[in-house]
Amino acid sequence: MTAVIRTDALTKHYGRVHALDGLDLVVEAGQVHGFLGPNGAGKSTTIRILLGLARPTSGTATVFGSDPWTDAARLHRRLASVPGDVSLWPNISGGEAIDLVYRMRGGGTGPAYDTARRRLCDAFQLDTRTKGRAYSKGNRQKVALIAAFAVPAELYVLDEPTSGLDPLMEVVFRQEVARVRDAGATVLLSSHILSEVELLCDRVSIVRAGRIVDTGSLAEMRHLTRTEVSFAASARATSAAAATVPGAEGVREDEGRISLTLASDAVAVALPRLAELGVEGLRVAPPSLEELFLRHYGASDAPGEGTRR
Amino acid sequence: MRTIGLLLRQRARRDAVSLAVWLAGLAALAVAGYPGVRSSYGDEQERVALLGTVMANPVVLLFRGLPSGAGEAQMVAFLLLPWLLLLVALMCSFLAVRHTRGDEEDGRLELVSATAAGRTAPLVATALHGVGASIVAGAVVAVIFVASGAPPVGAALIAAGCTLAGTVFLGVGLVSAELMPTSRAANALAVWLVVGTFALAGTGNALGTPSADLTRMTSSALAWFSPFGWAENTRPFDTDDAWPLAASVLATLVLLGGAALLHARRDLGASFVPPRTGRAAARPGFATHLALTVRQSRAAGIGWIVAGLLVGILSTSLAGVASRIGEGNPAVTSLLQALSGTSADLSRGLIVVFFVMLGIFAACAATQTVLRARQDETQGTAELVLGGGLTRTRWLADHVVVAAACAVLTIAAGIAGAAAGALSGGTDADLIRAAAVAGAGQIVPACLFAAWAAVLVVALPRTAIALAWALVAIAAVIALFGPLFGLSTAVVNASPFASGPVPTGEGVDPRGIVPLLVVAAVGVAAALGGMHRRELVA
């Protein structure tokens, strides 16, 4: 596979603030790639560099193999983007803004665009006659999303695209991402909404303080983590017995339930022993993305955190 | 009471810089008054002569106050008072809209109103803040006048006039903020009312009855419909009547009360004039960034073009009259020659003066258009277009192109107006030729300001807007008032407006056109080159 986006040791300094500090990101063609991190981790800075709106302090970034800083205009005809903080022209209606952005991206007129635009405006329930200044945050977001999805692109760069959208509209958004993915496009989806990333993304990169701290498919990332197993305490299934489960660590008893952790790739090995103990109310919980995420953000005082170490 | 105190402090802090700039401008104008009159119209004879000319040619009164005698102090009041009033009026109307509809539109008012402040306290705080600013403005003017040696009673009247002009237009700003859905529309309505009542007072004075010795004018009834007319009819340093200011006090109370009533009858975010909806889909031609830039500049551009047309009409219709009076009046002739920087005949000189004004309008139009690029950048919409197949260089270039077009159209309108004025006053081909030359001569200076603005946007984005306007203002003041206040020719000619080509008896004096052209071209090239290398700065 070829990399659509590749950054090498990308740094970006704003005065003494190091927004990016050696970021290596690779997004392969056809992926829906989740770009995860809390506010201020460097997600938007990375995206601004990828769009040629900001220049890296050092390191390189390529999109479709060329430098976005020098080739921005040409690249932008192949990609569609939604900025992190959508602002519209106050005196121009949403419909006009959608058409303008589409045309500036090089889209011609034609029934295909009209159909796509009408379908999207209906799906997102947008009143296209309203002027930019009168839209709420969610509606501004819809305008940017419609402008992005109305055009067939090879790459979609979406910076926190669902902020301000209601749950119904989030569903529409996920359908659109699935549609463009099926059409073969690549998507870089920056977000801090983990459930969204978990539902949509094939691969995830977690960014912290301007660096990628973990990257891979969700399955791969889980591979390296520990799965939490818990069951009801009984006469046979005691804490002492639980410690004899192969690979068990962090055994503890809390409110009548015994919990322990297993390496995620060694859960099957431990099952016969659990069966011997006749455990009841068994719960096997693979780590959620949230836990993976918290692990990288060192939330050591978060509940349950100690069991994973 | 405590929340109002907090809101007042917040307003004072937010406005500290902008009010300081307004007050500094007001102070500078007031300071310039006495020395200017002493150097240009030092003796009584010259002042009587000037007033005589004015009476015979009352269009001048559109830009000046109410003639009330030929004394030195009376002359200062005649020349300066309307402009002092205008500055305070604009300061207060912008202040009113900024803290009401402006905050409301951006959602800040919702944040504040959801606290103990509620719906009313912010409006009350804004009104108190504006009244306070008006009082400070009046005090600044009073101190400067007294320090310059003006009689204290007249100085107090001028100060009171300024303060009350401030409070009246504070009320106008507050009411239009209640009526209009956006701060832009509210500011537009308020500014139109300021300019409209300013012109109404001028017209009212021009249509008045002159006294027998031609040194005093009695306003016609029209002037009494304008707050500017009320303040001018106090006749500071002459009869020193305070009672016309009662009308200002009454108008202030009515407007502030009206704003409060309207405010109590609407929801937060609602307006009495409903917001307009737009088109559901864009017109076919709305497909490029250039089209977008034209669209964004259209409304303001039309305003400048209309202003240019009016200046043009005035220049020639006035020039005809002036040359008839000027022949018997050496004081006026020498004044106009000083202003226009030529020793040519009077009407041609007057056209040059008016076309300096036209050049300033064109430069304002161009500067405003280029600076829209910076606004586009800060409000985040630039990201939308630069994320869609547009180079940074092209983005700035489109703004510069539209700016130049705005400047050229403003000047073309001025020349057309001048031709119309000349033709209506009896054909005079020479006058039209002079207007065409003087107008064309201002195109390059105007474009130079577009180039400077572009360089500033690229090199010093965060301060570009303030610096670019400061450059225009300084150059305009030097070109318009420099000769009047006795600045040396070298200083005056440093203003681009004063170094464009001018018509002479036989042909054209190119003056500084070549250096202007070179600087403008280098500036545009440097700005576009720099934009190629610059990233977006919020």
Task: Convert the pLDDT of each residue in A142-177 to its tens digit.
Answer: 999 999 998 889 999 999 999 889 999 999 999 999
- A18 in any annotated domain: yes
- A120 in any annotated domain: yes
- A68 in any annotated domain: yes
Q: What average pLDDT does the segment B122-141 reach?
A: 96
Q: Is the confidence at residue B171, as pLDDT, over 90?
A: yes
d(CA B58, CA B318): 10
Q: Is the confidence at residue B322, as pLDDT, over 90?
A: no
More confident residue, B101 or B503: B101
CATH code for position A240: 3.30.70.980
In this structure, the strands spanning A155-159 and A186-191 are parallel
- A305 in any annotated domain: no
d(CA B225, CA B223): 5
Q: Is the confidence at residue B354, as pLDDT, over 70?
A: yes
What is the interface size between A and B, counted as CB pairs within 8 Å? 114
Segments forming the whole domain that contains residue A45: 3-221
Interchain contact, B296 vs A55, CB within 8 Å: no
Q: Which helix (H) or strand (E) covers residue B91, if one does? A: helix B72-97
Beta bridge partners of B502: B509
Of B261, B215, B204, nearest in space to B45 by CA: B215
Cβ neighbours for A25, distance < 8 A, ≥ 6 positions apart = A5, A6, A7, A10, A35, A46, A205, A212, A215
For residues A156 and A250, membership in a common domain is answered with no
Q: Is the confidence at residue A93, as pLDDT, over 60?
A: yes
Q: Is the confidence at residue A183, as pLDDT, over 90?
A: yes
Q: Is the confidence at residue B292, as pLDDT, over 80?
A: yes
Structure tokens belonging to residue A53: 């709106």
Q: What average pLDDT does the segment B267-282 reach?
A: 85
- A308 in any annotated domain: no
Contacting residues of A for B295, CB less than 8 Å apart: 92
- A295 in any annotated domain: no
- A57 in any annotated domain: yes
Interchain contact, A85 vs B535, CB within 8 Å: no
pLDDT score for B474: 87
Interface test with B, best of A99, A130, A136 (most B CBs within 10 A): A99
Cβ neighbour number for residue B397 with a 10 Å cutoff: 20
Alpha helices in B379-463 (DSSP H): 381-386, 392-424, 429-440, 443-459
Interchain contact, A104 vs B284, CB within 8 Å: no
More confident residue, B524 or B211: B524
Of A63, A72, A73, nearest in space to A154 by CA: A63
Considering all CA atoms of chain B, what is the largest pairwise distance in Å, rounded to the nearest integer?
Answer: 74
Mean pLDDT, rounded, of chain B: 87
For residues A269 and A184, membership in a common domain is answered with no
pLDDT score for A74: 84
pLDDT score for B61: 79
CATH code for position A215: 3.40.50.300
For residues A216 and A132, membership in a common domain is answered with yes
**Residue-wise over A64-93: b if at least 16 C-beta within 10 A, else e?**
beeebbebbbebbbebbbbbbebbbbbbbb
Interface test with B, best of A13, A69, A100 (most B CBs within 10 A): A100
Final residue before a domain boundary, out of A221, A243, A265: A221
Interchain contact, A131 vs B277, CB within 8 Å: yes
Structure tokens belonging to residue A191: 């977000």
Structure tokens belonging to residue B442: 């201002």
Structure tokens belonging to residue A204: 């995830």
B66, B235 contact by CB (below 8 A): yes
For residues A216 and A120, membership in a common domain is answered with yes
* B389: nearest CA partner in chain A: A73
Final residue before a domain boundary, out of A221, A239, A255: A221
Share of chain B above pLDDT 90, in %: 49
Contacting residues of A for B286, CB less than 8 Å apart: 96, 99-100, 103
Contacting residues of A for B106, CB less than 8 Å apart: none
**Dihedral (CA of B494, B500, B502, B508) sign:** positive
CA angle B299, B305, B306 (to 5 degrees): 90
Quote the pTM value: 0.77
Q: Which of A76, A91, A95 sits opposite B387 (nearest CB)?
A: A76
Q: How confident is the model at residue A256 (pLDDT cuts 50, 70, 90)?
A: confident
pLDDT score for A302: 37
Q: How confident is the model over B52-66, as pLDDT tens digits?
A: 777 766 667 777 889
For residues A32 and A173, membership in a common domain is answered with yes
* A96: nearest CA partner in chain B: B282
For residues A63 and A153, membership in a common domain is answered with yes
Interchain contact, B275 vs A97, CB within 8 Å: no
Structure tokens belonging to residue A138: 């969610």
What 8-state DSSP symbol labels residue B306?
Answer: H
Q: Is the confidence at residue B427, as pLDDT, over 80?
A: no
Residues of B with CB under 8 A from a CB of A: 105, 182, 184, 275-282, 284, 286-289, 291-292, 295-296, 379-381, 383-392, 394, 535-536
pLDDT score for B329: 59
Task: Compute CA distances A52 → A11, A257, B128, B265, whole Å.
Answer: 14, 54, 48, 49
What 8-state DSSP symbol labels residue A286?
Answer: P
For residues A64 and A132, membership in a common domain is answered with yes
Interchain contact, A93 vs B280, CB within 8 Å: yes
For residues A169 and A119, membership in a common domain is answered with yes
More confident residue, A9 or B114: A9
Of B54, B100, B281, nearest in space to A150 by CA: B281
Secondary structure class of A89 (helix, strand, coil)? coil
Secondary structure class of A153 (helix, strand, coil)? coil
d(CA B456, CA B462): 9
Contacting residues of A for B387, CB less than 8 Å apart: 51, 53, 76, 81, 83
Q: What average pLDDT does the segment B108-122 reach?
A: 85
Mean pLDDT, rounded, of chain A: 86
Return the residue matching tokens 């009312």: B193
Comparing B183-192, B370-379, B380-389, B397-406, the range with the smallest average pLDDT is B380-389
Interchain contact, B388 vs A134, CB within 8 Å: no
Structure tokens belonging to residue A126: 């947008």
Interchain contact, B389 vs A55, CB within 8 Å: no
Q: What average pLDDT does the segment B247-262 reach?
A: 97
pLDDT score for B485: 64
Interface test with B, best of A67, A91, A102, A105 (most B CBs within 10 A): A91
- A133 in any annotated domain: yes
For residues A70 and A189, membership in a common domain is answered with yes
Of B465, B369, B451, nearest in space to B410 by CA: B369
d(CA B88, CA B141): 11
For residues A237 and A193, membership in a common domain is answered with no
Secondary structure class of A207 (helix, strand, coil)? strand
Secondary structure class of B38 (helix, strand, coil)? helix
Interchain contact, A83 vs B387, CB within 8 Å: yes
Comparing A102-116, B139-153, B298-312, B445-459, the range with the smallest average pLDDT is A102-116
Interchain contact, B390 vs A104, CB within 8 Å: yes
d(CA B355, CA B438): 6
Instruction: Give the CA radius of gyration of chain B.
Output: 24
pLDDT score for B410: 96
d(CA B484, CA B340): 10
pLDDT score for A308: 34
* Domain count for chain A: 2
Q: What average pLDDT does the segment B55-79 reach?
A: 83
Q: How confident is the model at residue A307 (pLDDT cuts 50, 70, 90)?
A: very low
A73 touches chain B (CB under 8 A): yes
Instruction: Judge residue A57's burial from the number of C-beta atoms within 10 Å of its C-beta, 0-12 exposed, 13-18 middle, 19 or more buried.
Output: middle
A48 touches chain B (CB under 8 A): yes
Q: Which of A77, A83, A134 sits opposite B380 (nearest CB)?
A: A83
Q: What average pLDDT does the segment B424-444 reach?
A: 80
Share of chain B above pLDDT 70, in %: 92
Q: Is the confidence at residue B348, as pLDDT, over 80?
A: no
Choose from A222-231, B156-165, B467-476 the range with maximum mean pLDDT. B156-165
Final residue before a domain boundary, out of A196, A221, A246: A221
For residues A95 and A132, membership in a common domain is answered with yes
For residues A235 and A101, membership in a common domain is answered with no
Q: Is the confidence at residue B91, as pLDDT, over 80?
A: yes
Q: How confident is the model over A75-91, as pLDDT tens digits?
A: 888 889 898 888 888 88
pLDDT score for B388: 75
Q: Which helix (H) or strand (E) covers residue A212, if one does? A: strand A211-217
Which A-chain residues 86-145 have CB contacts (< 8 A) with chain B? 86-97, 99-101, 103-106, 109, 128-131, 133-134, 144
